[in-house]
Amino acid sequence: MSLKVGIIGTGVIFDLNILGYLNNQDVMITCLCNRTSEKAKRKIKQFNLDKNIRIYSDYKEMLDKEELDIVEILLPHHLHAEVTIYAARKGVKAISVQKPMALTLDEADKMIEACKDSGSILSIYENFFFAPHILKAKELIDLDYIGDPSSIRIKIAMGGKGGWNVSTSSNKWREDPKMVGGADTGSPVLLDNGWHAFSLASWLFGEEIEKVFAWTDNYKGLDAPAYVMFKYKQSREHVIPQYGHMEFSLMPDMEIPSNYYPTDEFIEIIGSRGIMKINQGTSIGNKMSESEIFVPIVLIRDGKVETYTDIKKDWKYSFINATNHFIDVVESNKEPILSGEQAIKVLKFNLAAIKSTQIGKEVILDEFN
């Protein structure tokens, strides 16, 4: 019997989240919810979905009337907690929530508690974990191919042009500081765009974060450019103490050719035996990807350079793989790659960095709440 799926929110990210559900015999999309019903109708036509899919403009009405196995929550950050809690109380078997998990640790705690009480699986959607080249990089790190990782540098380049044509109304809520992480002007870069980097930093090394120091400037309401430095906890013995940093750079007059957002990510990892470079994230598959300079993975090890090029180069595969993983989690009743309990640690790391920008000091995560 197919798992019944309901999707709440049909904005631009819907166009990627839907891909893993299309032509999948294990699931059946039975309903969509969007405040503007016409937008949901357009998505049904655009993706050739079943014309009998029911459409709602109120998520509570949808969850009250439908018996669902899976709910995908594709809504602005400030709605994640309330919708997750409502879905859990309605007995939905599995709930997938877009990043960031929530706006506060208190909200995240309540989401986790509600899902525990109802027996619902809570999964925070992190598609970057499932990009083919990043999966391969993680595999090589876990195989000790470059030795013990000692440092990571994540460079995020944000262009001013290119990618999707996102309506201004879609970004309107981000202008309210309370909806994007607090601070004086909010944190649309660190909390929103930055969530991916904060997640990858912990996941790639398999270690939690001990402390963080961050600095941001302000450019037209954006907390950027931004710089984040952090040290890992040492849950097991390492050759040297592990640390890392992230840099968020703005290129307001530059177009980044992309099928999605005008953003790209570059990662460098130094290990005890070698160096790994992971080229491109969001915009992989663009003109740069065809250059020998930007092959998906470059390794410098034992005096030799190795490259990995036979990898699917399109960000959409990260979404397809992430959704397939989530469906498997539901069918097998197992732990998702980023459960609520794991994601709240990423959120704490993220919010601690934002706090550091306010106080101008490093923040120790075990003391942060």
- Whether the per-residue pLDDT at 30 is higher than 60: the answer is yes
Give the architecture (CATH level 2) of 128-312.
2-Layer Sandwich (3.30)
Taking only the tens place, the pLDDT of each residue in 96-126 is: 999 999 999 999 999 999 999 999 999 999 9
Asked if the domains 3-126+319-337 and 128-312 are classified in one and the same CATH topology, the answer is no
Q: What is the pTM of this model?
A: 0.94
Taking only the tens place, the pLDDT of each residue in 3-25 is: 999 999 999 999 999 999 998 99
> How far is 204 from 320, CA to CA, in rounded Å?
20
Q: State percent of the chain over pLDDT 90.
A: 85
**Contact partners, residue 235, CB within 8 Å, separation at least 6:** 207, 208
Element (H, E) at 244: strand 243-255
Average pLDDT of span 285-307: 93
| Residues in a beta bridge with 27 | 3
Token readout for 69 is 């196995």
Average pLDDT of span 320-346: 97
The pLDDT of residue 172 is 56
pLDDT tier at 220, thresholds 50, 70, 90: confident
- Whether the per-residue pLDDT at 64 is higher than 70: the answer is yes
The pLDDT of residue 222 is 86
Boundaries of every domain in the chain: 3-126+319-337, 128-312
Taking only the tens place, the pLDDT of each residue in 194-212 is: 999 999 999 999 999 999 9
> How far is 195 from 174, CA to CA, in rounded Å?
15
The domain defined by 3-126+319-337 carries CATH number 3.40.50.720: yes
**Exposure class string for 96-124: b at 16+ Cβ within 10 A, else e:** bbbbbbbbebebbebbbebbeebebbbbb
Q: State percent of the chain over pLDDT 70.
A: 94
- Whether the per-residue pLDDT at 254 is higher than 70: the answer is yes
End-to-end CA, the chain: 43
pLDDT tier at 271, thresholds 50, 70, 90: very high
- The alpha-carbon radius of gyration of the chain (Å, integer) is 20
User: Exposure of 50 by Cβ count < 10 A (0-12 exposed, 13-18 middle, 19+ buried)?
Assistant: exposed
